[in-house]
Amino acid sequence: MARKKSSVLDDLVDIAAQLPWKVGVGLAVIAYFILHYFATRAPLTMNPVELKALGKTVGDSVTHGVGTMLATVFQYIVPFAFLVGAFISFSRRRRQSELHTQVANDPATDALEKMSWREFEGLVAEAFRQQGYRVVERGGDGPDGGVDLELHMGSDKYLVQCKQWKSQKVGVAIVRELYGVMAAERAVGAFVVASGAFTEEAKNFAEGRAIQLFDAKKLRSMIGRSPSPVPVAEQTTPACPKCGSEMVRRTAKKGSNAGNQFWGCSRFPGCTGIRS
């Protein structure tokens, strides 16, 4: 269950914590200068005659004064919230990098099982980050929050679900559910990453679809090798961005793209979804 937010400042901290720490610092600087501008602007007069000459009212003057007062206070509070989030992001990234190095150098087969579910998600995030993906961490505050990571490679989007299960194989229901979410969010593909193994039913369901299963052995292999992006779209058939069906390779016969290949929906002409 996700924790309840107690204020808008908590939201600002969370936003910055999900971003690269340098972006959080940049937001803090921008927020300070914007709020400082409003905090130091000249006050409006309360004289009705002078206000009328300026095309303003007493209400405008009061609003101006309240805005200046709030900006005076929040010019320090908002940047501080962003800086706190940036520090959280920096600390988490450093811890994830340490976990990645630790697992890469640890020959023990149970290295993945010894870590907590949160550490496992962080390790997976860093593993994909090392492969060139831009990673957005979407996991909740519980051990099973659905889609845990969102990956981006150029304009392509991928979803990742992490399963740090010590004694149970990941079944087909998990894989089928993520495949449905992938279609709903119009993602190119998806990954299910487990600290253990998958059932045969799960493997059969994923075969031929734009979804990859990473068991402990495959994850350790990715962690141990040199950075090399592994986008699903290049290895398996991508999903249609409109209906989620499998796509097929086609060649354009008309127009400026004649002769070029592209991915077209297998349900054409019922569905006209395409990918380049």
Q: Whats the size of the chain, residue-wise?
A: 276
pLDDT at 108: 64
Lowest mean pLDDT among 25-29, 133-137, 235-239: 235-239
Over residues 186-233, the pLDDT tens digits come to: 888 899 999 888 999 999 999 888 899 998 888 888 887 645 455 444
**Mean pLDDT of the chain, nearest integer:** 81
**Nearest alpha carbon to residue 194 among 106, 105, 113:** 113
CATH 3.40.1350.10 fits 117-234, yes or no: yes
Distance CA 167, CA 156 (A): 34
CB atoms within 10 A of CB 33: 10
Contact between residue 189 and residue 152 where contact means Cβ atoms under 8 Å apart: no
Q: Which amino acid is at 29?
A: V
Pick from 124, 115, 118, 125: which is nearest to 145 by CA? 118
Q: How far apart are CA 37 and CA 67, in angstroms?
A: 11
| pLDDT per position as a tens digit, 164-187 | 887 788 999 999 999 888 888 888
* Residues paired with 72 in a beta bridge: none
Which token pair is 147? 């889609």
Q: Is the pLDDT of residue 161 over 50?
A: yes
Q: What is the pLDDT of residue 116?
A: 81
Burial of residue 37 (CB within 10 Å: 0-12, 13-18, 19+) is exposed
Mean pLDDT for the stretch of residues 36-53: 85
Mean pLDDT of 102-129: 80
Of 198, 187, 194, 203, nearest to 133 by C-alpha is 187
- Give the model's pLDDT for residue 132: 86
Q: What is the pTM of this model?
A: 0.63
pLDDT digits (tens, 9 = 90+) for 133-158: 888 888 654 443 478 899 998 888 99
Q: Please state whether the peptide bond connecting residue 227 to the residue before it is cis, i.e. omega within 30 degrees of 0.
A: no
pLDDT of the residue at 144: 39
115, pLDDT greater than 90: no
Residue-range domain boundaries for the chain: 8-105, 117-234, 240-276
